[in-house]
A and B are shown apart, each in its own frame.
Chain A
Amino acid sequence: MKLFNSGSRLFWTLVVFLAINIAIFSSGFYAKFLTFSSMQGFAHHIVSSSKDIPINKDESIFIIGDSRITEGFNAGDANLLMKNSKIHYLNAGMGGASLRIWYYLLKEIDPDANRFNYIVVTLPSFRNSPPYDGGYEGRMLDADFLAPLISSNDFLNFIDHQTGYLNKFILLNRMIIASINYSNDFFDLILHPLNRIDGYKWRKKVSLNYGDEYKGNTENMAGLSIDNFGNIVSYPQRLSDAQKDQILKYLSSIKNTQNNEIVKAANYKNLWVRKILDRYKNTSTKVVIMRIPSTPLPVYLADYSYPLLSVIEENRNAKNLIIVPEDSFLDLEALDNFWDMQHLNAVGRSRLTTAITQKISRLGADK
């Protein structure tokens, strides 16, 4: 029996297609089962754990940032060090997370801007210096993080802040047809279904303490040296050709950063730090801005030669903002403390964890 004509069959096909997209993908149902090993799944774990974890507001110090702080700070060890004080650290650093991502994620994790005593925003530099955040203003990768996690309104706002009409269009497409955001993950799910089940159980168990057991990468960059012109004189012996090439590319990207790119990056950093500060302006949560060790070659990078971010200059005396002195952890920027060009190793992780706990415990007094 013919129930539908062709037009209505296609209409109902579209309805079912969109309904499945909404029910499984836009609703966040699928996102619960994302793999922990992707940036997208890792971000989902951090955000959902941060939302679910019981928090004593007066004790909580919520640290946000990218992989530098994930590798460089052990919240478990920090809490042990501070066990006699009323301080509880939560490390929410996630690889690839930008300031823009954190602005939107904070709205999810802390919807009323009142869950944490301190929110520590970690930055690799306080300056308008290359290459940190270069090209971030149009970074499409941000959508991978945000799509499973933020509301439609916020996603529309995110699209509005995206550069380029084509990019905006692509993001809108990803918002309407949410399954597009999960194609890589779905393939992994099909290939490794058992891992996914185990991962799901593990994630539930470890919550935000997933990194407590991790002591850090044991390798270091000893042996790397650079001449006055920025040319590499020697590499650490352990490095493969591919790793050497990576270092070369990293340094050349710093060397070749154009002025307009630095200006764009500065505008980007000022905009999103300001947005985070504005969000907590009239709340009891204090925002801490902290420069963390970001390179094993401080002399070469020399970001002191660049001007300070205007958002830092302007808000120096803001009521609930604490700016940790820029040079607080500079002594950790050494070859022995890093395992690559950006990340602290086990030694650096331990040292920074201790240094941060000491610094944070004095925050009230310093302010």
Chain B
Amino acid sequence: MLYTEGIFLWLLIPVAIILYGMPSNLKVLWLLIVSYLFYATWSTGYLVLLLAISIVTYIAPLLIFRASSETYKKIFLSLSVFLLLLILCVFKYFNLLEILVENIGFKIELPEILVPIGISYFLFKAISYIVDVYWETIEPEINPFRVFLFLSFFPQILSGPIQRAPDFFSQLRSINFGILIWPQIEIALGYLLLGMFEKLVLADHIDPLVQELDKGGIDNSLMALFANYAYAVQLFTDFAGLTHIAIGLGLLFGITAPPNFARPFGATNMQIFWMRWHMSLTSWLKEYLFMPLMMKLRGLGMIGLWFCILVNMLLIGVWHGSSLTFVMFGLINAVLLIITIATTKIRNKFFKKFNKLNAIGNSIGVILTFNLVVFALTFFRKSSISEALDSINAVLLFNINNNAWKALTYDVWVPGLMASLIGFELGAGFLGLYKFGPWITNSSRSFSFILTYSIGAILVILLASNGTQFIYARF
């Protein structure tokens, strides 16, 4: 079942009403049942896997907490994290084995394993919870249903955001959990509307434009470049839409999820970009991988830092899948980040000396960063390295076959272009559209609120393209 399906949205109403009306000690159980039912609409088989992972995630922290010595704690931590990573590798990277074996001259045929939906998200949540207990950031949760819900909470299970256990559990214990709070419902509906708009009106109208530009890009370099630009905006609107829907859904039940984006296309360098893009994943990796690794390698100075960046970015790449294109995506971003950090001092010195050039520098920074992101995403979106190189080659060949433009369909390029421009603005924030949300929910603007929400909902319905699967749901 998709978040954008009518039946899903209608079912939310009884789910929420029952939650608001039931005794507080049953609310977690109710949401857990609903979450499992939701997951079962995707796969009943993998629901068993989710349950098994949930049991490990419940027991491991208790064992770590009650272990009599540091050695036992480490053993329980290592075993549980190893088991979870093994599950992730088996389901997500099993097929890579076939390719690797083929590359060394042998041929094996392995059974095809379908990746359970949301596995990368709920396994990362599970690992962070176990590590948090080991680090004594939190005490283990005694109520198993809360742990099970933490992993399976249906607004977040498909594609995050990757929420941390301390944040989630504290909200479950809050008096606001599962209570009808109208101002919160207003904000929740605003997020849902924004998410639907980003996905159904923007991303799904950019998709056919990307496909047509890709076709024309074979003969026309500018079209090949625009295809890559449009894809970057499509990916952002698709994923931001999914995140906003997840945040809105969570808020309906009293759970505030972390944000994933903060105007990434307005970033003036790659370092800032990665602080604003898929934030729940990058902050997870920063806390559980980058920082601990940095501590270990602090004696190596800049070399240590660069190594940590390389490992971190490669992991971001392969987190998306087992294809070599994702490795390349991570590698390119690592190189770009290292260059950015290595040149920080020089750039700062220059702009300190010529501070009047700051505005120009920022503008150039935004354009350069966006283009570098688009370059890296070429590897992200293509199914093989050679396809990605062909795509880059198509841009660099400077082919100018103007007939290729004529093949663009009016009904595709006009809505696609409009959606791309709006999507870019939402991702860059130059015109300040992002301020509209807080402005409209202000309690003194009732008429504007009523008209915006009601007409906005109708426009989303009327302008929606036929819903397709979210890009990030496959990771």
Contacts and interface: CB of A to CB of B under 8 A. Distances in A.
Does B associate with A?
A: yes
Interface in B409-462: 410-411, 414-415, 443-444, 446, 449-451, 453-455, 457-458, 461-462
Contacts of B415: 187, 191
Nearest to A1: B444
Given A7-B182, A12-B450, A2 B463 contact: no
B182 A6 contact: yes
Interface string B175-198: 000000011011001000000000
Contacts of B451: 16
A156 B10 CA distance: 19
A32 to B, nearest CB: 16
Contact of A2 (B444, B458, B464): B444
Given A5-B182, A17-B458, A191 B414 contact: yes
B7 interface: yes
B79 to A, nearest CB: 44
A183 B182 CA distance: 30
- Chain B interface extent, by class: 20 to 34
A166 B458 contact: no
Contacts of A1: 444
A188 B414 CA distance: 11
B362 to A, nearest CB: 36
A2 B447 CA distance: 10
B461 to A, nearest CB: 5
Given A16-B451, A187-B463, A10 B410 contact: no
B6 interface: yes
A177 B464 CA distance: 14
A87 B451 CA distance: 54
Nearest to B186: A6
A20 B455 CA distance: 8
Interface in A172-190: 173, 177, 179-180, 182-183, 186-188, 190
A6 B185 contact: yes
Nearest to B464: A183
Given A5-B182, A9-B450, A166-B7, A186 B462 contact: yes
Given A166-B7, A170-B7, A173-B10, A179 B182 contact: no
A169 interface: yes
A179 B411 contact: no
A46 B47 CA distance: 51
Contacts of B444: 1-2
A183 B461 contact: yes
A4 interface: yes
Nearest to B457: A17
Given A1-B444, A17-B454, A17-B457, A183 B185 contact: no
B182 A20 contact: no
Nearest to A166: B7
A105 B379 CA distance: 53
Nearest to B185: A10
A190 B414 CA distance: 10
Nearest to B189: A10
Contacts of B449: 9, 13
Interface of A: 1-7, 9-10, 12-14, 16-17, 20-21, 166, 169-170, 173, 177, 179-180, 182-183, 186-188, 190-191
Instruction: Give 9 closest A-B pairs by Cβ, nearest first.
Output: A6-B182, A17-B454, A16-B454, A186-B462, A7-B182, A4-B446, A13-B453, A6-B183, A173-B6
27 contacts: A1-B444, A2-B444, A2-B446, A3-B446, A6-B182, A9-B182, A9-B446, A9-B450, A10-B189, A10-B453, A16-B450, A16-B454, A17-B453, A20-B454, A166-B7, A170-B6, A173-B6, A173-B10, A180-B461, A183-B461, A183-B462, A183-B463, A186-B462, A187-B411, A187-B415, A187-B462, A187-B463
Interface of B: 6-7, 10, 182-183, 185-186, 189, 410-411, 414-415, 443-444, 446, 449-451, 453-455, 457-458, 461-464
